């Protein structure tokens, strides 16, 4: 089971384990056992709420998610899963970090004020040695409070763009001069997102060591072509930037000194 794989994973000092949970969801674990889960969609609530049928099976059931931090770049149900939130809120050890529009959902789920924080673009906070910084994202009228999220964990920086259109000047201004180790970017073009070409263009400007394409395959209406992303990246990105598409449940091990040091595709037992 994926939950067991995550629990047993023990990154070496100076390394992170990054698990892909499908759609826009990732779980990050460091050598101290701290975990940050960002934008996980683990239920079927989008079919119930909007008619968007899940096309990728859930490898991690909502009741199995254990994480120190649950992070949401905005309040859409495929990023802040309300069915999942209600369950995770019962775990008194979990803290919540999200964009301002997430606050009503936190309150509704019974998350106490001391366990939650909302960050608008430009805001930052350090919790248990992990820095969370919200950066600019443009998800239009669909989610005007949406942000990207910059995480600094053990000296390694992960930038999740969140759902955003291509607005390079504002994104670059918001990021500043920070060096990005791993960048997570949506490759679907629907609902104002980047699409694979603009995802590659933005990656070329930001120059992360690794760029992971996400937000594809879960819903037929969202689009997103992993093969096109990799082909475009291979033609466009300079040496030193590694483009990746991860399989649901796959683990990536990343080292501060050596970059990618291991990958393991999840096999359901």
Tens of pLDDT, residues 95-128: 999 999 999 999 999 999 999 999 999 999 999 9
For range 60-71, the mean pLDDT = 96
Beta bridge partners of 156: 153
Beta bridge partners of 30: 16
Say yes or no to pLDDT of 194 above 70. Answer: yes
Residues 6+ apart with CB under 8 A from 147: 73, 74, 99, 119, 120, 121, 134, 135, 136, 137, 162
> What is the per-residue pLDDT for 175?
96
* Residues 133, 215: Cα–Cα separation, whole Å: 21
* Residues 201, 172: Cα–Cα separation, whole Å: 12
For range 243-253, the mean pLDDT = 97
**In Å, what is the CA distance from 74 to each residue of 33, 121, 164, 201, 222?**
26, 12, 11, 23, 17
Domains and CATH numbers, the chain: 2-264 (3.60.15.10)
> What is the per-residue pLDDT for 117?
98
**Pairing mode, if any, of strands 147-153 and 156-160?**
antiparallel
> What is the per-residue pLDDT for 154?
97
Chain segment 42-54, per-residue pLDDT in tens: 999 999 999 999 9
Residue 96 in contact with residue 111, Cβ under 8 Å?
Answer: yes
* Residues 260, 210: Cα–Cα separation, whole Å: 8
Instruction: Outline where the chain has alpha helix (H).
Output: 2-8, 45-50, 82-88, 103-108, 168-175, 195-206, 226-236
Residue 148 in contact with residue 171, Cβ under 8 Å?
Answer: yes
Phi and psi at residue 102, in whole multiples of 5°? Answer: -80, -20
Chain segment 170-179, per-residue pLDDT in tens: 999 999 999 9
């Amino acid at each position: 089971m994926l939950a067991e794989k995550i629990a047993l994973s023990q990154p070496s000092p100076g390394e992170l384990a990054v698990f892909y949970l499908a759609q826009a969801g990732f779980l990050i674990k460091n050598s101290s056992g701290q975990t940050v889960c960002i934008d996980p969609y683990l239920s079927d609530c989008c079919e119930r709420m909007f008619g968007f049928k899940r096309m990728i099976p859930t490898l991690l059931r909502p009741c199995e998610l254990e994480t120190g931090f649950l992070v949401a770049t905005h309040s859409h149900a495929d990023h802040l899963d309300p069915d999942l939130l209600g369950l995770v809120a019962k775990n008194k050890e979990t803290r919540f970090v999200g964009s301002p529009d997430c606050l009503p959902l936190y309150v509704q789920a019974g998350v106490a004020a001391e366990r939650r924080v909302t960050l608008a673009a430009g805001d930052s906070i350090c919790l248990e040695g992990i820095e969370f910084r919200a950066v600019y994202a443009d998800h239009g009228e669909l989610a005007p409070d949406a942000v990207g999220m910059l995480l600094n964990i053990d000296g390694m920086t992960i930038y999740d763009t969140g759902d955003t259109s291509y607005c390079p000047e504002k994104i670059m201004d918001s990021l500043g001069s920070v060096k990005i180790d791993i960048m997570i970017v949506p490759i679907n073009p629907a609902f104002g997102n980047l699409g694979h070409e603009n995802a590659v263009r933005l990656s070329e400007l930001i120059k992360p060591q690794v760029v992971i394409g996400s937000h594809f395959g879960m819903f037929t209406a969202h689009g997103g072509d992993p093969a096109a992303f990799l082909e475009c990246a291979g033609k466009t990105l300079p040496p030193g930037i590694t483009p990746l598409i991860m399989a649901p449940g796959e683990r990536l091990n990343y080292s501060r000194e050596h970059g990618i040091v291991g990958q393991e595709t999840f096999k359901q037992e």
